[in-house]
Structure 1
């Protein structure tokens, strides 16, 4: 499991390898998938700032790359979705799985997975294929494993850090995700996503839509969520 919380722990961190610089995050990502094999279950969590920029590789349907903002992004640059996907998604072998959780703005497709689960009214959903409508379609899947991502908001939205949930500042996705998993030990992906969406609405965070993206299609209401 990899955890990067860029919002809270930077000032107190004394280990230079744990400071969330671009190089440290990439090094940790490579460690996460190194020697990965069937039966392995990987988790990557990021809480911090997100951004988007013009897509120069022409593989994004909306014309923008999504990105994370490392601590040193002003000098070393953003960590762009293409690089994230290449580092922790494409190496996944058959039988391995990766769960990524991004509590950041503009993070909807920051893992660059090909499929978005679009929730409709009354709980209906459909998988939206991101490989259509791009000038230069590029394979963004795995080597047979399953990669699933929960993001705080859509690509053109901001992620809230708010006292609305507990009275103290907290990321909307982080709080809603952890509370749901803690309170409901047996969950499906669909139930988890809808519970997060419901928590957002209840706490007046309806301006951001949490997203579920995946490397492969599955029935979100029958597949159990297991880290």
Structure 2
């Protein structure tokens, strides 16, 4: 019998000079989506925030990322969500075309250090078996290639009628369908792994206040995109929302909400996944 499990990490860095305001809310919102609309059981979701029992230390983050993929088998679905600080450091093994390793920033990063994309690839991504699926979302700065997948897509959607009005409703027909593709260095992954990042490697992700709530700009735009695919009972409709359409809509919504310098990127373990649908 297939299983669904998730790890959700939100870090506000409370009390530090690098405090954020929306990351814990991002995790609360995605938890609600998974449990109320996607059939995830609370017992199969691990939440790491400053407010929860499991704190987002480096050790706890790494332990739970390993737990997420431990023992996975064909048909299983795993869901990883991170909202917090992201950064980059000098590439340590020559696998980055830009010479930088992307990193997640744990709560105790000043003493324990950061978690590199190389570590994530080795310990989480590469352990997804054939016909199992890992959905990954990183709402943080410099996150485009945060899990080092080979096939990368960027949306170049543009508003067809000049300058978009801030806060306008989204209509896909009013935006162009343009994408770029790049093949990066990396290993072949047996399973189906998909990453939606908050921004591209050279960009930053906004920690915003939207509708009087602190939340990540990417997380908000993703949430609004997913809401459009709920049925009358607020259940997520499977087999309908294509991955490429998520990428387009999230980026269009970022522009609509004024975050024009932030562009989500989609990375895949297999190029054939491009035309597949989001079925968490």
Q: Could you tell me which residue of structure 1 aligns to residue 84 of structure 2?
A: 48
**Structure 1: which 5+ runs fail to align?**
132-138
Q: Could you tell me which residue of structure 2 aligns to residue 79 of structure 1?
A: 115
Q: Could you tell me which residue of structure 2 aligns to residue 172 of structure 1?
A: 217
Structure with higher Rg: it is: 2
2:226 paired with 1:184: no
1:39-93 Cα distance to aligned partner (Å, 9 max, x none): 0010000000000011021110000000000011111111000001111111111
Structure 1 residues 120 and 11, CA gap change in structure 2 (3 angstroms): closer
* Displacement over 6 Å in runs of 4+: none
Q: Map 1:141-152 onto structure 2 (within 5 A).
A: 141-142=188-189, 144-152=190-198
Contact 2:142 2:203 in 1 (8 A): yes
Q: Could you tell me which residue of structure 2 aligns to residue 157 of structure 1?
A: 203
Q: Could you tell me which residue of structure 1 aligns to residue 149 of structure 2?
A: 113
Q: Could you tell me which residue of structure 2 aligns to residue 134 of structure 1?
A: none
Q: Could you tell me which residue of structure 2 aligns to residue 30 of structure 1?
A: 66
CA distance in 2, matches of 1:177, 1:90: 26
2:249 paired with 1:195: yes
Give the structure with the higher percent helix: 2
CA distance in 2, matches of 1:46, 1:78: 14
**Structure 2: which 5+ runs fail to align?**
1-5, 13-22, 25-48, 158-175, 231-239
Q: TM-score, normalised by structure 1?
A: 0.89
Contact 1:114 1:214 in 2 (8 A): yes
The total of aligned residue pairs comes to 214
1:202-226 Cα distance to aligned partner (Å, 9 max, x none): 1110111101001110363x42111
